[in-house]
């Protein structure tokens, strides 16, 4: 009886292991499908307005069945939103990894942020390009600024003659502009060099505009 009981237990375990294995296999296949669709959408958005992109043309270029598309997304805009949310989530992860950003950590912070841009450069080319999504750029700027604004206030003290909002606005647009130029140049400048350039530029601008309280 003990042997039979053990056999039944082992049989159940094998079934559970098989189900787990199949779920992992399906998840990986599903992830590959999603990535292929996002990559294809990004390629198409560089040349076309999102409103002119059809599911029919998208799945043909991605070499994926139309029915498979609908297993993952309701429409093109659902796919676009996931692509955008993925990037925002990666940026937010970097921001969250620096709960208290000291001056000594600033360079590492910039480096990690640039790594996200490099990893998503094809998608960002589409989203920040001529046929891109202005709302996405606004979201990205807002997320980054919310962190940077708080930390700048902790490290520096503004001169009374300087309106902080102008500084934030300048840094916000300037940094995103530099990274956009870098993305569209196919990241020819190594990420490490770009990180140094962005960090030094921001630091130089701030120290020219505001009073450094660390002195």
- Give the domains, in start order, of the chain with CATH numbers: 76-215 (1.10.357)
φ, ψ of residue 148 in degrees (nearest 5): -65, -40
φ, ψ of residue 211 in degrees (nearest 5): -85, 125
Q: How far apart are CA 70 and CA 210, in angstroms?
A: 53
Q: Which of 27, 40, 42 is nearest to 125 (CA)?
A: 42
User: Per-residue pLDDT tens for 145-155?
Assistant: 877 776 666 55
More confident residue, 196 or 212: 196
φ, ψ of residue 157 in degrees (nearest 5): -125, 120
User: Per-residue pLDDT tens for 107-129?
Assistant: 888 899 999 999 999 999 999 99
Percent of the chain with pLDDT over 70: 75
User: Per-residue pLDDT tens for 163-197?
Assistant: 677 777 777 888 888 999 999 999 899 999 999 99
**Kind and range of the H or E run holding 73:** none
Q: How far apart are CA 159 and CA 168, in angstroms?
A: 14
End-to-end Cα separation, the chain, in angstroms = 81
Q: Which two tokens stand for residue 31?
A: 């992830």
DSSP β-bridge partners for residue 157: 211
Contact 53, 45 (CB under 8 A): yes
Conformation bin of residue 187: beta by default, left when phi > 0, alpha when psi is -120 to 50: left
Contact 159, 209 (CB under 8 A): yes
Q: How many other C-beta atoms are found inside a 10 Å radius of the C-beta of residue 205? A: 15
- Tell me whether residue 206 is exposed, middle or buried, using C-beta atoms within 10 angstroms of its C-beta: 0 to 12, 13 to 18, 19 or more: middle
């Amino acid at each position: 009886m003990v042997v039979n009981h053990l056999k039944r237990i082992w049989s159940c375990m094998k079934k559970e292991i098989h189900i787990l294995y199949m779920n992992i296999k399906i998840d990986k296949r599903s992830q590959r499908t999603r990535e292929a669709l996002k990559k294809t959408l990004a390629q198409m958005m560089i040349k076309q307005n999102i409103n002119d992109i059809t599911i029919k043309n998208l799945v043909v270029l991605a070499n994926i069945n139309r029915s498979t598309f609908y297993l993952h997304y309701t429409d093109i805009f659902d796919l676009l939103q996931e692509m955008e949310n993925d990037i925002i989530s990666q940026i937010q992860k970097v921001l969250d990894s620096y709960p208290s950003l000291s001056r000594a950590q600033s360079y590492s912070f910039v480096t990690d942020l640039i790594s996200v841009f490099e990893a998503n450069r094809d998608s960002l080319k589409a989203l920040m390009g001529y046929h891109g999504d202005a709302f996405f750029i606004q979201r990205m700027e807002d997320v980054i600024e919310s962190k940077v604004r708080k930390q700048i206030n902790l490290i520096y003290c503004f001169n009374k003659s300087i309106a902080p909002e102008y500084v934030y606005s300048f840094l916000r647009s300037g940094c995103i502009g530099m990274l956009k130029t870098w993305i569209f140049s196919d990241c020819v400048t190594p990420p490490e060099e770009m990180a140094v350039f962005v960090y030094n530029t921001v630091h130089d601008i701030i120290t020219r505009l505001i009073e450094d309280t660390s002195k």
